Chain A
Amino acid sequence: MQNPSPNVEPDLQADTLRRAAIDRSVKGPVLFLLTNGAFWLMASTLLGLLAAIKSFAPDFLGHASFLTYGRLQPAHINALVYGWGFQAALGVMLWLIARRSGQELRTGKSLMMVAAFFWNITVTIGIGCILFGGNTSLEWLEMPAFTWPILLFCFLVFAWPMVSMFARSHRPEGFMISSWYIFGACLWFPWLFSTANICLHCLPSLGVIGSGINAWYVHGVILLFFVPVGVGAAYYFIPKITGQPIASAQLAKTGFWLLAILGGWTGMQRFMGGPLPAWMVAVGAMTGVLLLIPVLVVGLNHHLTTLGKHNLVAVSPTLRFVFVGSIFYPIAGIILALISSFWTGFTFQFTHAWYGYQIIAVYGFFSMVVFGAIYYIVPRLSGCEWLSVRLIRNHFWFSVYGIGIVVVTSIVAGMQQGGDLTAPERWDQSWISVVLNARPYLIARAVAWAMITWSNVWFLIHLMLMVAGLGRRSSAPTLLERHDDHSDPHLTHGAKA
């Protein structure tokens, strides 16, 4: 891509040069965000491993206050969400929207670097506070109250140029479902974040409504930030690599608007049977189940787009990660429906299934798609190719199996726990038997996090080498398999923006 061959037609060459100029214009912020995100992912994985061990062996590594499960677990989730998730999302969003709108990033680049820097500092301080006594115990908002205005401001520094790039887009004729999703994420998140923080930190005596708003926020960030970014990226990379247009524009639009309509209502079903007004819980449960429709619509569209090109999943690292992420997406939707409906929800309520849902949404779906995007974007920005097929394979398989184990064991543990807690005939069993029944699953979770740690160590090293410009000097991308019978997908189809 960086070295167009001399025999390409002139307008194609101009196109390639224009894309290279766009890539250059976003290089600094995107690489900064992705690299720092990868460091946070490493930190989150280690915290997750430690928290999983502590959940069945609380004496492990002694009794230091910052090593108790109640502090490690929120630190792990916050590092995953704000350290890795948001930075990786912003990096991919910025690159995608610049490419899709056909514009170079002209202004605000230094401000972005400052914002990204402050984002990292703030998350570091926030997670330090969680570990050393500033935990607010508001789910996904455990960092102390002073962090949120800074994070919001940093986010807006990125969101504003993205929105304006989208508004000034050069390609009104093209169908831009990826840009729609990313534009949506730029709007939804600040809205959700400021509402939740103002309510929870500034309004006194909310009582259970506060808990409801907190649950709404968590579902909102998943459904209206991580999902749009992941789906938007998948809508970009699947057609790009397979070389086929999105199967149905109608399905794509339907999926988008249904998500927009339903996403804001769900969340409060987390406290079903609880003290919240019944209609709020019921609306959440209903939309939680109805969300299956947009999820399956998107899944169907991706499936139809990939149809006939499945051999490329084995070849292209990008497509392989995006493909698996897109399979995790409908599974996450089904899990959400299971924990939301009144029929099954009471069994899964307050069990490990909730953790399984968070991990499949943020890691299984979103992060896998973003990994795919990173394998595509970084070579174009750093000017060198990924060093080792083995490292990519290693990253892929250990991630898939690790996440798979975390999710499956969490759901099964949830069924076990739920049965123990809700079945009327078990009303008189001792609490310790409930604890012991869940224990094997927690041990499996620790093993799974160890596998994910292994995969992330190599991903981080690989990415750092790339960012340092120490990748392979070649015009041919690193592919997982090489067949003589079909050409290089990244080269042939990379030409279409």
Chain B
Amino acid sequence: MTDFRKLTLGIAATFGLPWLLLIVVPAFKYQHLKPIAYDKEADGMDGYYPQSNANVLGLQVYLREGCVQCHTQMIRPTQFSADGWHKGWGEDQAERPADATRANTMRDYLAEDVAPLGVARVGPDLANAGYRLAAMDRSMIHAMLYAPHSVAIWSNMPSYAHLYKVRKAQGPKSELALPLSGKFAPAKGYEVVPTPEAEQLVDYLLSLKKAAPLPAAALGTLATAAAAK
């Protein structure tokens, strides 16, 4: 039957083309990106770009909890948005950053199986959360995850209390105990301590530093440089 053959071939051709060019070829082409070495002359620094990779164990917790539903990890270029100018969204933690944070590139997500770019931006962007959170005490980060309302009363972030243990305080106060006060504090004689998963999640958040300067070799020709492996 002619209709059947015509349709099958037509569908195979029309869908096969984008399938091949947009999915299959790029998937294999960009899978083996390698870090680029900084050039001492051109870049004024040593080492490799990217400088740090995301913490893998904590990423599992991040994905499992569905953080991507509200948090993106993608700074857009300044010509399209104000992302780069928001306080704390880059390396510079000043009230008014001197320079806009740069937009992200492919190598910022090196070694991540699928980059968690995010579904919606209900909460702040986390691409450079590592710089921002490094300014905080580690136990304060835990307190924010345990009871977001203790940090911002109108926050609509859920409490991740299931990543924490409430236990009877024994002897001197544990240095791991979360600094909670008021209605967020546990009952008297008890303390809240993070589980290993909560520690991994915080490690992951602290590892999110995607604002390292781009090497001169990568500027301008990112796509072709990527292809060159």
A and B: real partners? yes
In contact, B83 and A421 (Cβ under 8 angstroms): yes
Return the contact of B1 from the options A167, A346, A421, A432 (Cβ within 8 A): A167
Interface residue from A137, A277, A355, A435 paired with B66 (Cβ < 8 Å)? A137
Given known pairs A137-B116, A268-B22, A280-B26, the reply for A346 and B152 (CB within 8 Å) is no
- B26 touches which of A130, A209, A273, A351 (Cβ 8 Å): A209
B65 / chain A contacts, CB cutoff of 8 Å: 68, 70-71, 135
Q: How far is the CA of A442 from the CA of B76 in the complex (A)?
A: 25
Given contacts A139-B119, A210-B114, contact A283 B104 (CB under 8 A): no
In angstroms, how far is the closest chain A Cβ from the Cβ of B13?
9
Q: Are A184 and B77 in contact (CB under 8 A)?
A: no
Q: Across the interface, do A135 and B66 meet the contact criterion of CB distance under 8 Å?
A: yes
Contacts A137-B66, A351-B120; A273 near B82 (Cβ below 8 A)? no
Please measure, in the bound complex, the distance between the C-alpha atom of A112 and the C-alpha atom of B96, giving whole angstroms: 62
B80 touching A346, Cβ below 8 Å: yes
Question: B178 contacts the other chain (Cβ, under 8 Å)?
Answer: no
B33: Cβ under 8 A from any A Cβ? yes
A169 touches B1 (CB 8 A): yes
Please provide the chain B residues from 64 to 87 with a CB less than 8 Å away from any CB of chain A in the complex: 64-70, 72, 74, 76-77, 80-83, 85-87
Output the nearest chain B residue to A60 by Cβ-Cβ distance: B158
Q: Which residue of chain B lies nearest to A265 when distances are taken between CB atoms in the complex?
A: B18
Q: Which of B155-179 contact A (CB under 8 A)?
A: 155-162
Q: Is A285 interfacial (CB-CB < 8 Å)?
A: no
B91 within 8 A of A: no
In the complex, A342 Cα to B228 Cα: how many Å? 29
The digit string for B14-41, where 1 denotes a CB below 8 A from any CB of A, is: 1101110011101100111100000000
Complex: A421 Cα to B32 Cα, angstroms: 34
Complex Cα–Cα for A102 and B70 (A): 49
Name, among B68, B72, B77, the residue most crowded by chain A CB atoms within 10 Å (CB to CB): B68
Contacts of A350 in B (CB 8 A): 72, 118-121
Given contacts A63-B161, A280-B26, contact A260 B82 (CB under 8 A): no
- Could you tell me if A435 and B122 are in contact, using CB atoms closer than 8 angstroms? yes
Q: Does B216 contact A (CB under 8 A)?
A: no
Name the residue of chain A whose CB is nearest to the CB of B68: A137
Closest to A433 in B: B154
A271 at the interface (CB under 8 A from B): yes
Asked if B124 is an interface residue, CB under 8 A from chain A, the answer is yes
Q: Chain B 43-83 against A: per-residue CB contact (8 Å), 1 yes, 0 no? A: 00000000000000000001111111110101011001111
Select A260's contact among B10, B68, B81, beta carbons within 8 Å.
B10
The answer on a CB contact under 8 Å between B104 and A274 is yes
Chain A residues in 8 Å Cβ range of B99: none
Q: Do residues B117 and A261 form an inter-chain contact, with CB atoms below 8 A?
A: no
Q: Is B31's CB under 8 angstroms from A205's CB? A: yes
Q: How many residues of A contact B (CB 8 A)?
A: 92
Contacting pair B117 A211 (CB below 8 A): yes
Determine whether the beta carbon of B158 is less than 8 Å from that of A264. Answer: no
Which of A138, A206, A208, A346 has its CB near the most chain B CB atoms (within 10 A)? A208
B203, chain A: closest CB distance, angstroms? 18
Look across to chain A and name the residue whose beta carbon is closest to the beta carbon of B197: A133
User: Is B156's CB under 8 angstroms from A58's CB?
Assistant: yes
Stretch of A3-11, A196-204, A388-396 on the interface side: A196-204
Q: How far is the CA of A208 from the CA of B76 in the complex (A)?
A: 14
Roughly how many angstroms separate A314 CA and B70 CA in the complex, as a whole number?
42
Question: A130, A176, A421, A439: which has the most chain B beta carbons within 10 Å?
Answer: A421
Q: How far is the CA of A137 from the CA of B19 in the complex (A)?
A: 23
Say yes or no: B3 contacts A176, CB within 8 Å: yes
Q: Bound state CA distance, A65 and B64, in angstroms?
A: 11
Q: Which residue of chain B has its CB nearest to the CB of A276? A: B106
Q: How far is the CB of B49 from chain A (nearest CB, A)?
A: 14
> Nearest 7 pairs between A and B by C-beta?
A70-B66, A210-B114, A264-B18, A273-B76, A65-B162, A350-B121, A137-B63
Listed A/B pairs (12) with beta-carbon separation below 8 Å: A55-B122, A58-B159, A59-B149, A71-B65, A73-B66, A167-B4, A273-B77, A274-B103, A275-B109, A354-B119, A435-B122, A435-B156
15 extra interface residue pairs, beta carbon distance < 8 Å, beyond A68-B158, A272-B76: A63-B158, A70-B66, A135-B65, A167-B1, A199-B27, A210-B114, A214-B114, A272-B80, A274-B76, A274-B103, A275-B104, A275-B105, A277-B223, A417-B121, A428-B96
